[in-house]
Structure 1
Amino acid sequence: MALYDLNVGEVITVLGTFSFAVSGAFAAMQKRLDVFGVLIIAFATSVGGGTLRDILIGDTPVFWLKNANYSLLILITGILAMIFWKKIKMLKITLFLFDSLGLGFFTVVGLQKGLAFDLSPGICVALGTVTGCFGGIVRDVLLNNIPLIFRKEIYATACIIGGLVYLLLRYLDLDEAIVKFTAVAVVFLIRIVAVKYQLSLPRIY
């Protein structure tokens, strides 16, 4: 079972890295950055949340320094995104979808890391939220945009709800793969529904 769980965790991490790399590359191309700029933004988006998470819990060197395959995956994904972006007519929608997928995948990755370090459930949810959101914050700051997490859109809230669903399903002793991918789906669907129906948290202004 341990080996099975490890494989599922690796798949989740790879999918999250790929999703955020595409998200970062497309966001950079919207700003008309050069090739180097696109790759840097793709890299920062993919590893930003995981880097902060690993530093917070003292798991150093951080994950992408331990395994160079993640950097290679980001490089290849960024290059492919630049090659095929002209074939994708709805660049903004594609960016949104991959950002939402990355948010879900990395929320679960952060939760897994917290549980592996025997942290409390609340801290694990916080780590999942940091892992999911911080890469997007770095991306938006580097591109001189207001980060999504600070706008009226439901963003971090989706991570928190997905994290709570993950812990609940895990408590019910369901299959680990089902638990992880259900949590990812919850985060993804909350983002889709929130944007489609313009749902947001209460505003103070």
Structure 2
Amino acid sequence: MLEFETLYKFLDLAGTFAFAISGAVAAKQRGLDMFGIFAVAFTVACGGGIIRDLCIGAIPPVGLSDWRYLVTAMLAALMTMGLHALVERLHQPVLLFDALGLSLFAVSGAHKALLYGHNTEVAILLGMTTAVGGGVLRDVLLNRIPVIFQKEIYASAALVGTIVVVAGEYFRWPDTVVSLTAIALCFILRFLALRYHWNLPVFRDKETAND
């Protein structure tokens, strides 16, 4: 049990770090000041987890009560500002770290819902909420259309990761193997969708399509 809790905490903090970087980079690209960068980084990193904890009754949310989440998000923001030239050398840095955070949070969110005794449906939905919630808040704060409302494969990738987690719980597969597999599948699906421009179908009115 201790090993499982350690793995879960690592995944949660790793996801926090990855999402905080994506938030800080996006905020810097929008020209926000230092406070704005810190605020967006923390919101992206902990927003989805806070929503999840409120839904499952984990009060106060760990993103607010555990100092490690705030420190992790702030360190990621400072690293992004201090080493911005290095981060910018990565190909599409926001999308890269966002995909990593998506994968880690989908897995940790589903795990936590199961840990609190909720059923498969709740675990899948809250795993997805944990994964995409911070990104939605980031896009709203930066006045952008949230990625999950567009044609990109984003929430669908998180869905795949959460399904693997609940399947592993049902069949009693080793937690470490299940978690790593779920993270890998979610990240690979999101990465390939970006690389090869895989998209979900978009339905438009004929008049709009002809404009």
Confirm or deny a common fold (TM above 0.5): yes
- Aligned partners of 2:49 and 2:60: how far apart in 1? 11
- Aligned partners of 1:103 and 1:155: how far apart in 2? 8
Deviation of 1:55 after TM superposition, in Å, equals: 1.1
Where does 1:148-159 land on structure 2 (aligned, <5 Å)?
Answer: 148-159=147-158
Unaligned runs of 5+ in 1: none
Q: Which residue pairs with 1:120 in the alignment?
A: 119
Where does 1:109-188 land on structure 2 (aligned, <5 Å)?
Answer: 109-188=108-187
Q: TM-score, normalised by structure 2?
A: 0.92
Q: Which residue pairs with 2:195 in the alignment?
A: 196
Give the number of the structure whose alpha-carbon radius of gyration is greater.
2
Preserved CA contact (<8 Å) 1:26 1:91:
no
Deviating more after overlay: 76-85 vs 63-72: 63-72
Q: Structure 1 stretches (4+) deviating beyond 4 angstroms?
A: none
* Letter in structure 2 aligned against 1:171: Y
Report SS of the residue matched to 1:196. helix
* Letter in structure 1 aligned against 2:129: V
The structure-2 alpha-carbon separation of the partners of 1:142 and 1:92, relative to structure 1 and needing over 3 Å to count, comes to farther
Q: Which residue pairs with 1:47 in the alignment?
A: 46
Superposed CA offset, 1:21-40 (max 9, x none): 10100010110111111110
Preserved CA contact (<8 Å) 2:63 2:69:
yes
How many pairs align?
Answer: 204
Deviation of 1:94 after TM superposition, in Å, equals: 1.4
The structure-2 alpha-carbon separation of the partners of 1:36 and 1:92, relative to structure 1 and needing over 3 Å to count, comes to farther
Unaligned runs of 5+ in 2: 205-211
Q: Which residue pairs with 1:88 in the alignment?
A: 87
Q: Which residue pairs with 1:78 in the alignment?
A: 77
Q: Which residue pairs with 2:64 in the alignment?
A: 65
What's the % identity of the aligned pairs?
Answer: 37
1:28 aligns with 2:23: no
Deviation of 1:91 after TM superposition, in Å, equals: 5.7
Deviating more after overlay: 16-25 vs 56-65: 56-65
- Aligned partners of 2:141 and 2:88: how far apart in 1? 25
- Aligned partners of 1:170 and 1:178: how far apart in 2? 11
